[in-house]
């Protein structure tokens, strides 16, 4: 279908790349002053995946990307744009997307990283939609990939329990019909940037012996304050994108939220009036994988056969920046 801008963007392939190593709450009990019971009750997490010493973001992203391309029936040489959503690229320079481009041999693709933290995949969907509307790009590989374990201080129980590693990928192409991304909403409030940050390693506080000794290259988070903001912003954002799509809360078939904390997800979905049976939660197995969490959850939802053609799927997330967003998709068909 054409809307006022052009053809809709639709997902035709999904894939995931997860490290094999599992870090359980019981493992963490031996590392920090915490308990399996506290972590489960306060976050819903039981375990998370941790990258091996030789594994970086582009490795997991490449596994996810190959799976997504295979499902979509797209050859690497046909991909014309790669968007890697990440806060943990292999290196600062060059960008992670160029490592990914090389690994999957996507020789025709332009590529760039997108850093919008946990909202990355939502920002990426919006950019993919815009590129498709432009008529210039036809086969976009949109990947969320993170190796958060590299920037987590496993002595800090505020953050050490929460995060995990992994990647999820989607092939996004112009839709032939009315299926695809109907509307999205994105937001940012830089005044909350200090609530979730890695203080050093950038141009403000470059990496020095002192910065490393002080642990300033690790994630610092004021989780409690983020919690309340996240619930409010996600509900507002979903309402906004539903309105833009000409739909209402009752039209939602599935909510696939960023997996930051089970209590955040439950509070937001209950405020939206969406039943627990329509909300996808896999945080118990992966923890918070930032930009990777929505595509991993979307992959698993599709894999379980839950997504039917025509279903209205609401994606939403909130994270460092602060950033937030939502996307309303009329689900189409995976495969060629």
Catalytic residues: 118, 258, 288
Contact 57, 98 (CB under 8 A): no
Chain positions 160 to 189 lying near ligand UT7, rule: CB under 6 A, are 161-162
Q: Minimum distance between the CB of residue 314 and ligand UT7, rounded to whole angstroms?
A: 18
Is 34 near ligand UT7 (CB under 6 A)? yes
- Structural tokens at position 300: 């698993």
- Choosing from 21, 138, 153, 158, the residue that interacts with ligand UT7 (CB under 6 A) is 158
Is 40 near ligand UT7 (CB under 6 A)? no
What contacts 173, CB < 8 A, 6 or more positions away? 9, 10, 12, 72, 74, 132, 138, 139, 140
User: Cα 43 to chain center, whole Å?
Assistant: 18
Q: Which is nearer to ligand UT7, 158 or 211 (CB)?
A: 158
Per rule CB under 6 A, count of chain residues that contact ligand UT7: 21
The owner of tokens 């799976």 is 67
Cis bond before residue 303 (omega within 30° of 0):
no
Q: Which is nearer to ligand UT7, 34 or 138 (CB)?
A: 34
Chain positions 187 to 216 lying near ligand UT7, rule: CB under 6 A, are 196
Q: Which is nearer to ligand UT7, 19 or 44 (CB)?
A: 44
C-alpha span between 212 and 204 (Å, rounded): 14
Q: Minimum distance between the CB of residue 193 and ligand UT7, rounded to whole angstroms?
A: 12
- Choosing from 40, 103, 157, 249, the residue that interacts with ligand UT7 (CB under 6 A) is 157
Contact 281, 293 (CB under 8 A): no
Q: Minimum distance between the CB of residue 267 and ligand UT7, rounded to whole angstroms?
A: 11
Q: Minimum distance between the CB of residue 263 and ligand UT7, rounded to whole angstroms?
A: 7
- Choosing from 12, 25, 43, 269, the residue that interacts with ligand UT7 (CB under 6 A) is 43
**1, 320, 327, 268: which is closest to 142 by C-alpha?**
327
Q: First and final CA of the chain: distance in angstroms? A: 17
Is 223 near ligand UT7 (CB under 6 A)? yes
Stretch of 18-26, 77-85, 86-94, 156-164 lying at the interface with ligand UT7 (CB under 6 A): 156-164
- Choosing from 220, 227, 236, 282, the residue that interacts with ligand UT7 (CB under 6 A) is 227
Q: Which is nearer to ligand UT7, 173 or 298 (CB)?
A: 298
- Structural tokens at position 147: 């190796």
Kindly list the strands in the beta sheet with 180-188, ordered across the sheet, starting from the edge strand earlier in the chain. Answer: 180-188, 323-330, 312-319, 254-257
Cis bond before residue 94 (omega within 30° of 0):
yes
Is 88 near ligand UT7 (CB under 6 A)? no
Is 154 near ligand UT7 (CB under 6 A)? no
Is 224 near ligand UT7 (CB under 6 A)? yes
Contact 290, 117 (CB under 8 A): yes
The owner of tokens 């609530």 is 195
Q: Which is nearer to ligand UT7, 72 or 148 (CB)?
A: 148
H/E segment holding residue 28: helix 25-29
C-alpha span between 144 and 336 (Å, rounded): 22
Chain positions 93 to 132 lying near ligand UT7, rule: CB under 6 A, are 118
Question: Which chain residues interact with ligand UT7 by CB under 6 A?
Answer: 34, 38, 42-43, 118, 157-158, 161-162, 196, 223-224, 226-227, 230, 260-261, 264, 288, 318-319
């Amino acid at each position: 279908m054409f809307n006022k801008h052009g053809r809709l963007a639709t997902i035709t392939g999904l894939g995931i790349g997860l490290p094999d190593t599992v870090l359980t709450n019981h493992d963490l009990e031996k590392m920090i002053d915490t308990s399996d019971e506290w972590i489960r009750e306060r976050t819903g997490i039981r375990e998370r995946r941790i990258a091996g010493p030789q594994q970086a973001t582009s490795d997991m992203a490449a596994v996810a990307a190959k799976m997504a391309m295979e499902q979509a029936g797209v050859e690497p040489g046909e991909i014309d744009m790669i968007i890697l959503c990440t806060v943990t690229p292999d290196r600062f320079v060059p960008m992670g997307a160029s490592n990914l481009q090389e690994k999957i041999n996507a020789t025709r693709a332009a590529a760039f990283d997108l850093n919008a933290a946990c909202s990355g995949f939502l920002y990426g969907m919006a950019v993919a939609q815009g590129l498709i509307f432009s008529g210039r790009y036809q086969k976009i590989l949109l990947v969320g990939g993170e190796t958060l374990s590299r920037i987590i201080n496993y002595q800090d129980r505020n953050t050490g329990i929460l995060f995990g590693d992994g990647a999820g990928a989607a092939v996004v192409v112009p839709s032939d019909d009315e299926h695809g991304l109907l509307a999205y909403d994105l937001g940012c409030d830089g005044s909350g940037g200090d609530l979730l940050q890695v203080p050093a390693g950038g141009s403000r506080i470059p990496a020095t012996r002192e910065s490393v000794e002080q642990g300033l290259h690790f994630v610092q988070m004021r989780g409690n304050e983020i919690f309340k903001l996240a619930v409010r912003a996600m509900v507002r954002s979903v309402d906004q994108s539903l309105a833009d799509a000409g739909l209402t809360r009752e039209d939602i078939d599935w909510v696939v939220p960023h997996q930051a904390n089970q209590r955040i997800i439950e509070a937001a979905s209950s405020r939206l009036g969406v039943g627990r049976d329509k909300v996808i939660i896999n945080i118990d197995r992966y923890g918070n994988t930032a930009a990777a969490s929505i595509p991993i959850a979307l992959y698993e939802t599709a894999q379980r056969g839950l997504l039917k053609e025509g279903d209205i799927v609401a994606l939403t997330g909130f994270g460092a920046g602060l950033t937030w967003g939502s996307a309303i998709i009329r689900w189409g068909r995976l495969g060629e």
